[in-house]
Chains A and B, each alone.
Chain A
Amino acid sequence: MKNSDKAPFFVGYLDMPKQLKRFYIPLVILVGVLSALGGMSIAKQQQSDGPAEWQTSSTVTYHGLLKMEPYPVLHRINPDNANETESILLVNQGKFSAEHYAAPLEDQWVSVTGYPIIRGGWTMLELASDQPIHTAAKIEEPSEFSILGQSSSSVSLGAVSFSGEIADSKCFLGVMNPGKGTVHKACAEVCLLGGIPAMLLVLGEDGLKYGYLLTHSDGSSVSKELANQAAKQVEVNGELVKKGDLLYLQIGESEVL
């Protein structure tokens, strides 16, 4: 085979031939421009899984009635509307349940300090690291205690069947955006193993996502058992139960498997 002598011969440690310089200067500029345009256009293609927020700049402190349902929940009077109550899920830092701090104070009036995680009508509080929960010095408003006790009682809404994705509630509600899906699967599994409340994400006919906290049919936590189902699309039958303003889907053993 005869080598063509038309192409300039490049040797790395010698000066680059002029013909090659004329070839490379516009090529390098073009690649630089394409790198910039590529970075911008690929970034623009992303979609947010929000609106959701994890407010980490400062802590807030909420007062209310602490319940284990079985996940730690603080029921309190809505500060903007005294006729309404709201239920706030509590989780620990990292990928852990707040059960360790909350269980000893069940059914007590407490103050809880942490970082709010907010998505839609949901509020979750990630406990602050130092003494996050303690009992209030006194029960300031006994009537509130009674109202919250009533509102947080369990109300059955009947048998239902839902299709959706099993997720960990902490990431989905705002700690991560996006906090669901295949890429997030391993994280959801670690969270569920740590006792973070399991949640079924159901896409409603209106295009909105609805979340149902999952428990065993006896009301106990099902997070660890569902860990290996994280991020999977499943069809679940169970009993829909309302406690405070949280909806729970109580599922049988066969549903868990």
Chain B
Amino acid sequence: MSHTFVPVSWNPRKRVYDVCLWICIALYIVLYVSVTNMFFQQEDAISTLIVLMRAFSTCGFIMLTFILCIGPLARIDQRFLPLLYNRRHFGVSFFLIALIHGALAIFWYHSFGDINPIVSVVTSGGSYGGVGDFPFQLFGLLSLLMFFVMAATSHDYWNATLGPLWKSLHLLVYPGYALLIIHIGMGAMQESNTGILPYMVFISVTLVGGLHLYSALFHSRQSLAVEQEASSWVEVGNWQQIENDRGITVTVNGAERVAIFRYDECKLSAVSNVCRHQNGPLGEGKVIDGCITCPWHGFQYRPEDGRSPPPFTEKIETFKLKLEGNVIYLDPKPLPLGTPREVTMITTTH
């Protein structure tokens, strides 16, 4: 976690992540181009720029499929959380690959004529009279613009500045993916020789859709649902259900999400379940070095007051707890951000 904004935030883990990512990208593109040049020579040579366009487009499509699978994979199996940790670098890398594809297409197909290449992207290659004749490249351009917005605002500065809007903005990845599928379906898949492309699209849609559906049905963020009645305190359950240094997530009246942690064996603390960084699920985190640690990017908060340890300044809402026997009771009314309250001590034995 960081308290100042630098252009690109790296640490050793992120460097390893990025190096592995770009080695895979380079392997794919270099071998794609090399094999094409090896098998299609002289009179059968496919135009170099078309080969590059295809290499970057298929590479980008595979990358986007992978990016969209990381979220549900991490929910299904926490061992995939490290992939989520640096997903934004993955996303920006994907955008760069897609941008190269788009630039090559504009250069090769839309330049060297009487029409401005950018105008040609909008006006050439079809008409707006019918769905079947709609210029397929427009869908690609629109999705590229969406990915640009996401890449340009991927930095923590924008995350902090835009607040809740940031998350909504970055959900554009789904309409962007849908536009890309239409772009491929109305473009390359209309060719007489589509090769392996239809299978790639089928596998991608099945993987992305299937994993999202499976994780939503069987691995949704599980939360203990409680109803608040007349009393301000709601019964949560036995403290023994919480492992030491771990938390549980409680949903009160289907709305307020609260994370209750047990730490130092005998202390209980309730804070908001929503990390201030990227809305990560704090209740799935762990208490490390005395701080609640978000499972997504490692942002930390003190259980006593919901504040990040200095020099960091993030604050989350805190909640009051009380213990009657072994049973935890929660006051679901959130206290202001970073409000300290008395630590609930477990005094009974189990």
Report the bound CA distance from A194 to B11 in whole Å. Answer: 53
CB-based contact B44/A50 at 8 Å: yes
As a 0/1 sequence over residues 69 to 99 of chain A, the CB contacts with chain B under 8 angstroms (1 = contact) are 0000000000000000000000001111000
> Quick one: which of B32, B81, B222, B248 contacts A10, CB cutoff 8 A?
B81
Task: Tell me if B188 and A183 are in contact (CB < 8 A).
Answer: yes
Are B243 and A20 in contact, CB atoms less than 8 angstroms apart? no
Question: Which A residues from 161 to 194 make CB contacts under 8 A with B?
Answer: 175-178, 181-187, 189-191, 193-194
Question: Interface-forming stretch among A24-32, A100-108, A138-146, A152-160?
Answer: A24-32
CB distance from B295 to the nearest CB of A (A): 7
- A170-B185 Cα distance, complex, nearest whole Å: 27
Interface-side segment among A39-47, A59-67, A129-137:
A39-47
Q: CA of A49 to CA of B81 in the docked complex: distance in angstroms?
A: 45
B86 lies within 8 A of chain A by Cβ? yes
Q: Which of B25, B110, B247 contacts A35 (CB 8 A)?
A: B25
B62 touching A38 by the CB < 8 A rule?
A: yes
Q: B28 touching A36 by the CB < 8 A rule?
A: yes
The answer to whether A186 touches B82, judged by C-beta atoms less than 8 angstroms apart, is no
Asked if A208 is an interface residue, CB under 8 A from chain B, the answer is no
Question: Nearest-CB distance from B106 to chain A (Å)?
Answer: 10
Complex Cα spacing A228 to B126, Å: 7
Contact A32 B35 (CB under 8 A): no
Question: Is B47 a contact partner of A9 (Cβ separation < 8 A)?
Answer: no
Name the contact of B35 in the complex, choosing from A44, A181, A230 (C-beta under 8 A): A44
Q: Name the residue of chain A whose CB is nearest to the CB of B12.
A: A13
Give the residue of B27, B195, B241 whose beta carbon is less than 8 angstroms from that of A46: B195
Does B229 count as interface, using CB distance less than 8 angstroms? no
Q: Which residues of B contact A (CB under 8 A)?
A: 1, 11, 13-14, 20, 23-25, 27-33, 35-36, 39-40, 42-47, 50-51, 54-55, 58-59, 62, 77-79, 81-82, 85-86, 108-110, 112-115, 120-121, 124-127, 135-137, 186-188, 190-193, 195-196, 200, 222-224, 241-243, 246-249, 283-286, 288, 293, 295, 297-298
Residues of chain A lying within 8 A (CB to CB) of residue B14: 12
- Contact between A44 and B247, CB atoms less than 8 A apart: no
Q: Which of A4, A14, A186, A194 has the most CB of B within 10 A?
A: A186
Q: Which of B50, B195, B286, B295 contacts A45 (CB 8 A)?
A: B195
Residue in B closest to A175 when the chains form the complex, CB atoms:
B47
Q: Is the CB of A43 within 8 A of B44?
A: no
Residues of the B chain whose Cβ atoms lie less than 8 Å from the Cβ of A189: 124-125
Q: Is the interface of A mostly helix, strand, loop or mixed?
A: loop
Determine the distance from Cα of A12 to Cα of B89 in the docked complex, in whole angstroms.
14
Contact (Cβ within 8 A) B40 A46: yes
Contact A43/B114 with A177-B47, A182-B190 known, Cβ cut-off 8 Å: no
B40's nearest neighbour on chain A, judged by CB, is A48
Most A-side CB within 10 Å, residue of B46, B120, B125, B288: B125
Asked if residues A183 and B32 are in contact (CB atoms below 8 Å), the reply is: no
Q: Which residue of the partner chain, among B40, B115, B200, contacts A193 with CB atoms under 8 Å?
A: B115
Given contacts A48-B45, A182-B136, A183-B191, contact A43 B31 (CB under 8 A): yes
**Contact B44 A14, beta carbon cutoff 8 Å:** no
Per the bound structure, the CA–CA distance linking A24 and B83 in Å amounts to: 10
Instruction: Evaluate whether A186 and B44 lie within 8 angstroms (CB atoms) in the complex, with A3-B284, A39-B27 already known.
Output: no
Query: Are B29 and A39 in contact, CB atoms less than 8 angstroms apart?
Result: yes
A7 interface contact, C-beta 8 A? yes
Q: Which residue of A lies closest to B300 (CB)?
A: A11
| Interface contact B32-A48, CB-CB below 8 Å | no
Report B-chain residues with C-beta under 8 Å of the C-beta of A2: 241-243, 246, 248
Contact A177 B46 (CB under 8 A): yes
A35 and chain B: residue at smallest CB distance? B24
Identity of the chain A residue whose Cβ is nearest the Cβ of B33 in the assembled complex: A43
- What is the CA–CA distance of A44 and B195 in the complex, to the nearest angstrom? 9
List the 3 closest A-B pairs by CB distance, nearest first. A186-B125, A51-B43, A1-B222
